[in-house]
Amino acid sequence: MTRLSVLLLAALALLPAPAAAQVFPLFDSHIHYSRPDWDAYTPERILSILAKAGVRRALVSSTPDDGTLKLYEKAPAGIVPSLRPYRTRDDMGSWPRDPAVGAYVEERLKRGIYRAIGEMHFGVADVPAPVVKQFAALAADRTLFLWCHIDDATVEAMLKTYPGVKILWAHAGMSAPAARVAELVSRYPMLWVELALRTDVASGGTLDPEWRALFVRHPDRFLIGTDTWVTSRWESVGAASDAVQVWLRQLPRDVAEQIAWKNGERLFPPP
């Protein structure tokens, strides 16, 4: 070995080791463990998948609700139960005007463990429907969130019609642009937004400048999520969480920590 090589190696040894990439603990605000999942994945396996993905706690709703209870019974510290109004998938389109669904939800809420009602799908014409009105009253009375899979017109109608109710907006409306989300978040203090499936936030792994500016401006109003809406999605939980970690690292650390897990802990504190 030449003297130059020795000097180069000595110089390299003095360089600081590259810092490990920041990995944030996660509060996943969009998980389901519905009937088709039960045969494929035991509750223990589900909890293992979440743990390996860095998820410390998760907001869970299921069709039927028994799936959520299966996970909650195994890990009450890590599972935040939300009561989905669907007894079966057949309820998805009819629940806003079905008094039997309203009675079902009122009875289940007696367990006293639920922190939200939803995730539930509906449209702007359903906002004044009797069961939506019933759920809004229940949420206001019991300080629960309404977790709503709705578009931007519907979420604004909900916020105007039921101004005292906390709304968790699933998927940021699926397709609402950052400018529209910013408008709604700025206008309505009872709106929080989860970002499950919004890969456009960081297309190709690079955080979109408009979304970044919105997160920095309102770091306390956003949560991350995965959405295990079909059984096969459980195989993607780790990859989806890794993708979120990539764009979280492109934010100021205090902002990233709020979106990654602190907002979830604040909104759904451990019992």
The band of 21, judged by pLDDT with boundaries at 50, 70 and 90, is confident
- Count of all residues that appear for the chain in the document: 271
**Alpha carbons 223 and 236: distance in angstroms, whole number:** 19
Burial of 172 (C-beta count, 10 Å sphere; 0-12/13-18/19+): buried
Q: Domains, the chain, ranges and CATH?
A: 24-267 (3.20.20.140)
The band of 20, judged by pLDDT with boundaries at 50, 70 and 90, is low
Q: Model confidence over 87-106: pLDDT tens digits? A: 999 999 999 999 999 999 99
* C-alpha distances out from residue 38 to 16, 182, 253, Å: 49, 38, 37
Tokens, residue 221: 């109003």
User: What are the backbone dihedrals phi and psi of residue 208, each rounded to the nearest 5 degrees, phi first?
Assistant: -65, 130
Inter-residue contact 190 to 164 (CB < 8 Å): yes
The band of 10, judged by pLDDT with boundaries at 50, 70 and 90, is very low
